[in-house]
Structure 1
Amino acid sequence: MKDLTHYTDLAAIFRYPTPKRESFIGVWRKIIWNGLTEQGPKLEMFITHVQEKTIAAQQEYYISTFDVQAVCYLDIGYVLYGEDYNRGIFLANMKKEQENAGNDCGSELPDHLPNMLTLLPKLGDQNLAEELVVSIMIPALEKMIESFQATDNVYKGMLEVLLNVMKNDYPASEFERFNFSSQEKARSFECLPQWRNIK
C-alpha cells in the first residue's frame, strides 16, 4: 500500500500563511531532498520566503497570488471547468469523498488544493487516490503553472515541486488524463468511473 502521508505535509505550503508553517520546514526538506533533489532549489527559495518575510508580508503575497486579482486559483474544479456546470457536479462528488474520508475542509471548498492533498492519504481506495492524482490533479497543476507570467513567484516553484512529486509517485499510471478542450470536458469528467452515476 502506497504511503501518501507526505501530501498532508505538502498541503501546508498552499494554505493561508500562519506562524505554524515554519514547523514544516524540516519535513518538507526530507520529502524533497531525499527523492527529488533537482527540485530542492525551488523548495529552498520558498523556505527563504517563509523565514525572511513577516507573516503579514507572507499573507499579502499569498492573497495577491491566489485571492485578490489572483494570478492562479487553488480550487481544482474551477481550474478544470471554469464556470461550466460540470464544476458543480465535481464539487458535489468531492464533498462526498471528503465526508466519507472524514477529512475536515474547514472554511474552504472540498476541491481546494490543500483539502484535496490531505484527502489522498485518507482514502481507503488506493485506485481512487491514484485516479485523482493522475486524471485530475496533475492536469490541473500543469494548467495552474501555465497561468503564472512571473517566473520568480515562489508558489509557481512549489506547484512545480508538487507536480514532480505526483509524477514520481505515479510514473506509469494507466488512468486517463483530464482533457481541457471544450468538446472533451464532459467526456473527460467520466474518467472517474465511481462518480458517473452520482446525481
Structure 2
Amino acid sequence: MESKQIDDETVLIPKSNSKGKAVVADASSPVVATPKATLPQRGKWKKGLAIFDFVLRLCAAAAAFAAASTMGQTEQTLPFFTQFFQFHAEYNDLPTFTYFVVANAAAGGYLVLSLPFSIVCIVRPHAVGPRLLLVVLDTVMTALTISAAGAATAIVYLAHNGNSITNWLAICLQFTDFCQQASGGVVASFIAAVIFMFLVMNSALALKKTSH
C-alpha cells in the first residue's frame, strides 16, 4: 500500500500488480469454499435406482407366479388306457415339481409384500434400513428360486432324454404336453431368478452410493 499526504489527511492507495489490477487483501473476510453440487445429483440417482427396483419387483413377481401357475397346471392323460391302468401324469407325482411350485409361489408372494418397502425407498432415497432389509431377503429368495429351478431342470432333462444306464424312459415321447408345460415353468422360474440377481445388485449399488 502507498500513502500520500493530501490536505493533512492520509489517503491509502492500493498498490497495483504488474497487470494493473488492484489487489486488496482483507484479513477479516472469511474464505468461503464453493461446495460441489453433488447432493442433488446423488439424490436423483438413488431415486432412479429405487424406481428401477420397483419395476424389477413387478417383473419378477409376474415371472415367479407364471412359473408356479404353469407348473401347477401341468397335467396330461394319454388317450389310450387299459382295463387296469390309465396313463396319467401330474406335477405332484414328483416331489421336485411340488417343491418347485411352492418355492416360486413363495418368491412371488414375497415380491408382492416387498413392494411397500420399495415405495419407501422411492419416497426416501437416502433411507438405509429398508434397502438393507430388501437386499438380505432378496439374496435368500434368489437362492430359493435358483434351487427350485435347478432341481426341476434335472427332472425335465430326464423326462426328455431318459437315462439308459438306470433304465429311465424318456416319458416326453408320450407326455408331450406335460413336458412342454413343465419346461415353460422352468424357463419362467429362471427368468425370475435372473431378475432377483439384478435386484440384489441394484440394492447393493444403492447402498454403496448411500455410504459415500
TM-score (norm 2): 0.36
Higher strand share: 2
TM-score (norm 1): 0.38
